[in-house]
Amino acid sequence: MKIIKMDDFKDFSSFESNKRLKLFSKDLFFDEILDNINSNLLESEKLIEKQFEANNSYPSILVISSPRTGSTYLTQLLASKFNISYVSNLMSKFYNVPSIGAFLQKKMINIEDMKKTNVFQSLHGNTANIYEPSEFGYFWARHFNFGQNHHEPEEEDLKKINFKKLNKELENISKVFETPVLYKCSIAPFLFKQILYETNVFVIVLNRNKKDTVSSILKTRKERFGNYDTWWSIRPLGFESMQKEKPVIQVQWQYDQIYKSLNDYDKNKYLNRVYNCNYEDLVKSPLDELNSIAKQYLIYTGLNINTNEK
């Protein structure tokens, strides 16, 4: 079993990156430049945090789901319709210094570009325009990497994750924007209970019917790798033993493990902090679903983020 170094968090974000077809391959030189930029801005990050430390912070909004359930579409909708901030493709490049990324986004991106967007496009969860939402993958991998080759931590692994530091960074980002901030995280499902317990984030769990989700994941495997056999996206504990099975069985198991984890929490305790959204309802009646999300966030925080109430 491959062990991932704790400081080599980029591998934790996407284990299979070296198997991608050329269209989806990483630009390693660009990554190296970004590493240098991030490393040289650590002192400036402290200045930004100090500048905005007196501002209020607000609970973040975090979308968690299986891959291929419409999470990018949901974040695009939320970012365009609600009075919130979000992580743009610009900000995502500052994964080690997120307050600087938030500050630059606030100064350089006209949020109205996103508000005016009516047609939402993405490819395997990635958006094209610099002002559009990003998954912030390296940021989450930096915080959630526990040194294994999968994304489902055991008890000892959880001790390696500093949730207090994560919560503080989320608060600092919110202070820069002066609004709640929207995120999505593809590697969060097996950390769901800990996220609820250790942070104050408001979570949207996005569901989609199993048949369509499995079909979409298999299609993505073929498009990214040229085959159906290469594992894509989040890895539950035990994924290696599943790789001897047919691809469709692998993905069905992957889906089941994800939603087993996302349903394993104290529903009474976190009643107002978790909103379960169905992809089919979202597509059929997007404004109704957005209104319901906003109402539950209002109950949890007392803050109205909805600018589109009927």
Contacts by 269-273, CB closer than 8 A, 24 or more apart: 270/196, 272/296, 272/299, 272/300, 273/196, 273/201, 273/202, 273/203, 273/300
Asked whether the beta carbons of 130 and 113 are under 8 A apart, the reply is no
pLDDT at 23: 87
- pLDDT class for 6, splitting at 50, 70, 90? very low
Q: Does domain 9-301 have CATH number 3.40.50?
A: yes
pLDDT tens for residues 141-156? Answer: 999 999 999 999 999 9
Mean pLDDT of 186-208: 98
Res. 310: pLDDT tops 50: no
Confidence of residue 59 (pLDDT cuts 50, 70, 90): very high
CB within 8 Å of 189: residues ≥ 6 apart: 64, 65, 66, 151, 234, 258, 261, 262
pLDDT tens-digit readout, 208-245: 999 999 999 999 999 999 999 999 999 999 999 999 99
**Percent of the chain clearing pLDDT 70 (strictly above):** 94
pLDDT for 5: 52
At residue 67, does pLDDT exceed 80? Answer: yes
pTM: 0.94
